[in-house]
Amino acid sequence: MDVHGYRLSFITDNLFLFQPYNKEEIWIYKFSNDLFTKANTFHAKSDCEDFGTSFPQQFIKSKNIILAKNGNYIHLIKFDIQDNFEVHQSINFEDQCIYGQLSNNGQCLITWDRKSNFIQVRLYEKQ
């Protein structure tokens, strides 16, 4: 590879995501013919350089949701059985110093960010 990144996560045994450093993209890798190859790319806003190594991507299988931080943003990404990915919601914290985690069932997102200096709790609302 000619880039580096801070975040990767398996979604299935045959599919993982890689987030390259300083790009507004997330790359999708699929396993076929005995190796993983880049299959697709989708857009994920950033607005600044992302130095955050302590905010890993998180996958909630029961909701098919991925939590991914990129720069000032936290993205909730949905995907379907055909491995189509779509940014479902983006939250702009206006500062790159963000920490957070989804609950195991994906119902609750808890975050702390340097700008507000608050712990914030957001609940999942089905649309």
Kindly list the domain boundaries of the chain, sorted by start residue.
5-123
Rg of the chain over CA atoms, in angstroms? 14
Determine the pLDDT at residue 92: 93
Question: Do 70 and 46 touch, CB atoms closer than 8 A?
Answer: yes
Question: Do 38 and 26 touch, CB atoms closer than 8 A?
Answer: no
Q: Along the 127 residues of the chain, how does pLDDT read in single tens digits?
A: 677 787 888 888 888 988 888 888 888 899 988 999 898 888 888 877 666 667 888 999 888 899 998 888 999 998 887 778 888 899 999 888 899 999 999 999 999 999 999 999 999 877 6
Spell out the residues 6+ positions from residue 61 whose beta carbon is closer than 8 angstroms to its own.
none
Question: Count of residues for the chain?
Answer: 127
State the pTM of this model: 0.83
Determine the pLDDT at residue 52: 60
Q: Which CATH number fits domain 5-123: 2.40.160.20, 2.40.30.10, 2.130.10.10, 2.40.50.140?
A: 2.130.10.10
d(CA 82, CA 66): 16
